[in-house]
Amino acid sequence: LPVEPQGQATSMGGVRYGKPEKASLTLVVPTRNESGNVERLVREIREALSGIDYRVVFVDDSTDETPGIIRSLSEEDGRVVLMHREGAERSGGLSTAVTAGLDAVAASSEYTCVMDADLQHPPRKVREMLEEARESDADVVVASRYTEGGDYEGLSGPVRKAVSVGSKYLAQVVFKEARKTTDPMTGFFLVRNAAISGIQFRPTGFKILLEILVCAPELKVVEVPFSFRTRNAGVSKASMKQGLEYLSHITSLFWYVPSAGRFWKFALVGASGVLVNTFVLLLLAEYFDAHKVIAWMFAVGLSILSNFLLNNAFTWSDVRHSSRIHFLLRGALAYPVAIVGIGANFAVYYPLLKYVSDAFPYYVLFNFLGIVAATSVNFILSSRLVFKP
């Protein structure tokens, strides 16, 4: 047990090992200057979770009297635990607070629920989330503001609402895992600890639920609606800086998680193939004065080769190692698809070249139209045959 379950408040540095039995639920609550909220939060949790074996771990980065209040709450109630952070750890902010909390409690309870301290996340919901996790045998229960029955009235002002909805759609466009829930950016969710035990959280991981969903694509996710009320006391710590951190989080997930955003990796490789193709065509036709059909053949051949190598190294860098047979089957299917694509390309390129013009810049444009035709055919066939789940 990395966190002492009974008794005195403990700091991160002085974590001691407690009793071996597992609590069923740990609440991880990040706090920064929430002195007006923690007492009421603890009281509401106590009322809402009677009969459930739970603990509340505050991961606190406050500079006000919040840690003192939490300390005295933990003296009254052994289920309240303080992890107070100072210095470099504290400047890690909200993201590392949540992951430090998850890491510290994972081994000592069955489920962890992450929630805010300002009562925008109603403690009454937690029981329902736990029951839902058990009933549906889910790995993650998301408390959603955006599903039927939920609302986000508590988001202050139209700008904050628009940013929230926009960033949610951005995540869902880039990562298909974010489409498993209507609210991938919520700070209110419950996880089965065993299901996320292998995940190595990165310090750039800003929205922890999104990090979990993308890093562990197989998780079973369900959701319950909730109403995001206005903050009880104190002020929001959301800022422009957090918005930028969110964008860098999306970028780092895309580049460092092999399975993340595969469709867009495929599209990026495709775009690079267009550049390779056009470059080879121009080089051979203009510089070496090659026949335009010969130039086209080399352009197509080399761009297919570069696409194949890049998709292998980048788009499916993980698949190669996890299942060779799957990969070979995929490859075997991809070839007839590629041949049909080349046919479509040539069927567009050649008549235009022959009957319209084979002069610069027309043949370059016709070549591009051929690529568009090939890509469309490739995409339609691939999504029906090659990448069908």
Q: Which residues bind Mn ion (CB under 5 A)?
A: 116, 118, 120
Give me the phi and psi of 112, to 5 degrees please. Answer: -125, 135
Under the binding rule (CB under 6 A), the answer on residue 210 touching ligand GDD is no
Under the binding rule (CB under 6 A), the answer on residue 10 touching ligand GDD is no
Under the binding rule (CB under 6 A), the answer on residue 61 touching ligand GDD is yes
DSSP state of 142: E
Residue 339: CB atoms within 10 Å: 11
Q: Which of 59, 141, 196, 386 binds ligand GDD (CB under 6 A)?
A: 59
Q: Smallest gap, in angstroms, from Cβ of residue 127 to ligand GDD?
A: 19
CB nearer to ligand GDD: give 171 or 374.
Answer: 171
Q: Is 223 within 8 Å of 144 (Cβ atoms)?
A: yes
| Span interacting with ligand GDD, options 44-52, 58-66, 287-295, 321-329, rule CB under 6 A | 58-66
Binding mask 74-113 vs ligand GDD (x if CB under 6 A, - otherwise)? -------------------xx--x----------------
Q: Which of 49, 82, 113, 117 binds ligand GDD (CB under 6 A)?
A: 117
Under the binding rule (CB under 6 A), the answer on residue 116 touching ligand GDD is yes
Position of tokens 């890049």? 310
Q: Radius of gyration over alpha carbons of the chain, in Å?
A: 27
> What is the C-alpha separation between 24 and 302, in angstroms, rounded?
58
| Span interacting with ligand GDD, options 56-64, 174-182, 215-223, 262-270, rule CB under 6 A | 56-64
> What is the C-alpha separation between 4 and 16, in angstroms, rounded?
6
Token representation of residue 72: 């005295």
CB nearer to Mn ion: give 61 or 177.
Answer: 61
Burial (0-12, 13-18, 19+ Cβ within 10 Å), 289: exposed
Q: Which of 15, 170, 238, 276 binds ligand GDD (CB under 6 A)?
A: 238
Token representation of residue 45: 């949790």
HSE, side-chain direction, 13 A CA sphere, residue 113 = 30
Under the binding rule (CB under 6 A), the answer on residue 32 touching ligand GDD is yes
HSE, side-chain direction, 13 A CA sphere, residue 367 = 28
CB nearer to ligand GDD: give 9 or 284.
Answer: 9
Q: Smallest gap, in angstroms, from Cβ of residue 113 to ligand GDD?
A: 13
Q: Smallest gap, in angstroms, from Cβ of residue 154 to ligand GDD?
A: 8
> What is the C-alpha separation between 345 and 247, in angstroms, rounded?
37
Name residues whose C-beta falls within 8 Å of residue 120's C-beta, 6 or more positions apart in sequence: 154, 228, 229, 230, 231, 232
Q: Is 71 within 8 Å of 154 (Cβ atoms)?
A: no
Under the binding rule (CB under 6 A), the answer on residue 273 touching ligand GDD is no
CB nearer to Mn ion: give 118 or 139.
Answer: 118
Q: Smallest gap, in angstroms, from Cβ of residue 238 to Mn ion?
A: 8
Give residue 162's identity as a one-letter amino acid code. Answer: A
Under the binding rule (CB under 6 A), the answer on residue 30 touching ligand GDD is yes
The contact set with ligand GDD (CB under 6 A) reads 30-32, 34, 59-61, 93-94, 97, 116-118, 120, 164, 185, 187, 236-238
